[in-house]
Amino acid sequence: MNYGARLALAGLGLLLSACQMVGPDYRLPKDAALQRQDLQGALSAKGANVVSAPVPADWWRLYQDPRLDQLVQQALASNTDLRVAAANLARARAQVDEAQAAGGWSGGVKAGVERLQESGEAFLLPEKVPVANVGNLSISTSYQFDLFGTLQRGIEAAQANADATQAAADTARITLVADVVRAYTQVCAANEEREIAEHSLSLQAQSTELTQRLRDAGRGDETQVTRSQTQFKSLRAELPRYEAARQSGLFRLSMLLARPVDQLPAGTSSCAELPHIAQLLPVGDGAALLKRRPDVRQAERQLAAATARIGVATGALYPDISIGATVGTVGILDNLGKPSTNRWGFGPLISWTVPANGARERIHEAEAASQGALAHFDGVVLNAIRETQTGLAQYSAQLQRREALADAEQSAQRAADQTHRFFQAGRASFLADLQATRTYTDMRAQLAAANTQVAMSQIDLFLALGGGWESGRTQASQPIKP
């Protein structure tokens, strides 16, 4: 081996021995909001009619409603948002494969034939070189060393981005489930409240008729009749609102399931009983919540990807080093393959672009992006805590309001029963009996609306807790590591 080859190999060995990873290694910052115990402790379930049990993966099954289970499963199988999320995830995983395929071994084959007039002076010849048919056939291979870890940082960035995309798909799943349960609840609530409203309207019609009879008999005046008619018309004007709410819920389900309304599961449009959970809601604990919510995992993985991109940008300051070999034959077409036309080569190649034209500025840009990703991550964590605290507070308040209305509804029922017995005994008028019954019906309507608000609060709370994505995953999610 000659001196030049030895020197090249020695230099290559020196570079290989000095290799190191560019850019910072990713670690979850100690001052990140996710690491703060005081924030995790703020998610207290005390006094909110909930229990600190693990949130079930299929939380909607707590309703024990087979029709609702069927709606959710059909939505998970055909929803367009989930199809988009699946396509985005496939694209992100392909980008990981692309990053892993970068560097390392590569090869190629080159072949060509041309009618060529070479310049004589290019070969230091005074005379003209004859025109000839020249052929070129070569096979080359090379291996690019990831000497400074630039390619590895690219792989880390692509993998973190794929993890973030998976978390986004999980978010789409839990949002879809919540939307399906909410739309189904809206249909059931609209049917139930419409039934109560129609009963109240019927009672008001009887009251109006009685008021007219009393006026005709000289025991009332026109003002009472007008007031009663106005109340009847006001109640009748409310009926289209319930039908519109019912239709809106059905159309929402149609969109979520990607099928016409008449192809929804049997009984969906006529559901008249709210889905309810006959147990305390399981909400887990604060630390588990923040690691379970997909949007928190997505923001943390975006931070990891931004950190890895600092290394990718830093790698542009260093040379690319590879070693390769070429075997081929070049010459007049008739002489290809003869010893005089054969050629081969082997050796290292160093390619280095002087760090200019914004190379260092791109590093600063990547560092700033990482700081922005950290701020976004903290914001997502704080928002998750806010949503959960708000959901717990609203759910507790709605339960208290429902309990108060239930007590009032029972009182109104007792009053209506007493008044009706008095009427039967001749101690109260028919009008008083109707008014007491109408008051009871009004309280029923308020209680039904309160039950709807409790049901919607339950859905919002489960959505804030981030439950429902686990059963849709083919493999376990990587936990957030400090």
Tens digits of residue pLDDT in 40-52: 666 665 555 778 7
The domain 106-145+318-354: what is its CATH number? Answer: 2.20.200.10
pLDDT score recorded for residue 447:
92
pLDDT score recorded for residue 122:
84
Spans of all domains in the chain = 22-103+151-316+360-465, 106-145+318-354
The DSSP bridge partners found for residue 281 are: 50
pLDDT score recorded for residue 475:
41
pLDDT score recorded for residue 159:
96
Which whole number is the average pLDDT over 81-93?
A: 95
pLDDT score recorded for residue 17:
45
DSSP codes, 245-283: HHHHHHHHHHHHHTS-GGGSPTTSTT--S-----SPEE-
Whether residue 330 has pLDDT greater than 50: yes
pLDDT score recorded for residue 149:
87
- Cα 42-44-45 angle, rounded to 5 deg: 160
The larger pLDDT score, comparing residue 437 to residue 138, is at 138
pLDDT in tens, 439-482: 888 898 899 999 999 999 999 999 988 877 776 664 434 445 54
Which whole number is the average pLDDT over 301-311?
A: 95
Please name the fold of domain 22-103+151-316+360-465: Outer membrane efflux proteins (OEP) (1.20.1600)
pLDDT score recorded for residue 406:
94
pLDDT score recorded for residue 477:
45
pLDDT score recorded for residue 46:
58
pLDDT-derived band at 194, boundaries 50, 70, 90? very high
Whether residue 1 has pLDDT greater than 80: no
Phi, psi (deg, nearest 5) at residue 330: -135, 130
Which whole number is the average pLDDT over 17-31?
A: 79
Which whole number is the average pLDDT over 391-407?
A: 92
Which whole number is the average pLDDT over 203-218?
A: 82
Whether residue 430 has pLDDT greater than 80: no
pLDDT score recorded for residue 350:
80
pLDDT score recorded for residue 474:
44
